[in-house]
Amino acid sequence: MAEIANPQTVEPATPKMTAADFRVYNNMAEHMNYFHNNFRATWKILYAACSSGKRPSNMSLRQFISTAEQFCHHLTVHHTIEEQHIFPVLATKMPVFRRELELLTQHKQIHQGLDKFEAYLEKCRSGEQDLRMDELKALMDGFGDVLWQHLDDEVKQLGAENMRKYWTKDEMRRMPM
């Protein structure tokens, strides 16, 4: 005879968060989104120029290349800090932040494209190669989808509703961010 599932085994709904609790649990997501929004804004400037075939009117060629190189540098530093200081702490309770799983795999995929992008920019800056917007766009297309997905995924994982599944408020206040 087949057993019927006991409706009493359903987990109770998580209680509603107060505004103060939400601020505590959502703090890392807000901080991360601040940095990610800067990456998004710079990406949009670079990609719009590549798509239109011309730099913004207020940027010289040198400034445009410098902006793109700064994007590469800042993203690399950001990921290095995450991997060395933030993710190891989160990984103690949150499997998604462990080395072999999605968020770090996304970092690797992003940097495969970012390294090519940066090498191309270096050749352009040194004069070894002329900057061609269509080539730069093709390089950006090579890692853009995974970058944008990653920017969203990370913030979602750090959101209040998810964080409170793993951490106490006191633990959240001690997070390295």
Q: What secondary structure, in 3-state letters, does the chain show?
A: CCCCCCHHHCCCCCCCCCHHHHHHHHHHHHHHHHHHHHHHHHHHHHHHHHHHCCCCCCCCHHHHHHHHHHHHHHHHHHHHHHHHHHHHHHHCCCHHHCCCCHHHHHHHHHHHHHHHHHHHHHHHHHCCCCCCHHHHHHHHHCCHHHHHHHHHHHHHHCCHHHHHHHCCHHHHHCCCC
Neighbours of 106 (CB within 10 A): 19
**Tens digit of pLDDT per residue, the chain (177 long)?**
444 444 454 445 678 899 999 999 999 999 999 999 999 999 999 999 999 999 999 999 999 999 999 999 999 999 999 999 999 999 999 988 887 667 778 899 999 999 999 999 999 999 999 999 999 999 999 999 999 999 999 999 999 999 999 999 999 999 987
What is the model's pLDDT at position 104?
79
What is the model's pLDDT at position 61?
96
What is the model's pLDDT at position 10?
47
C-alpha span between 46 and 54 (Å, rounded): 10
pTM here?
Answer: 0.87
- Which amino acid is residue 150, in one-letter code? H
What is the model's pLDDT at position 12?
55
Hey, what are 173's tokens?
């206040």
What is the signed CA dihedral for 97, 99, 103, 109, rounded to 10 degrees?
170
C-alpha span between 91 and 89 (Å, rounded): 5
Nearest to 72 by CA among 105, 113, 133, 29: 113
C-alpha span between 77 and 83 (Å, rounded): 10
